[in-house]
Amino acid sequence: MATAVRTYDAKIDSKKRITLRNVLFEYFHVEEFDDGSIRLEPRELTKPFQVSENTLHMMDESVENLKKGKVSKAIDLSAFEV
């Protein structure tokens, strides 16, 4: 079992919230038990989807080709008009 690093008493405010002091994490997974105890486990959210270096390179090449006029024929999308 883990050893307590810090202990303190907290009071629930009028909106049923408590304040955690000097925490290292911004997000927590909360588990509430029948006996009234609550367990908080720190969570780190993953970074949002990032475009790979290869995709960025391909996009740069596509823009260069567009500027040079090296493009395919226009596609007729009139069949999809509402």
Q: What is the pLDDT along the chain (82 residues), one digit of tens a residue?
A: 678 888 899 999 999 999 999 988 889 999 999 998 999 999 988 777 788 899 999 999 999 999 999 988 889 999 998 7
Taking the domains of the chain in order of start, what are their residue ranges? 10-68
What b/e string do you get for 14-34 counting C-beta neighbours within 10 Å, with b at 16 or more? eeeeeeeeeeeeeeeeeeeee
pTM of the complete model beyond 0.85? no
The whole-number pLDDT of residue 64 equals 95
* Per-position DSSP letters for 45-63, written without gaps between them: PPPPP---HHHHHHHHHHH
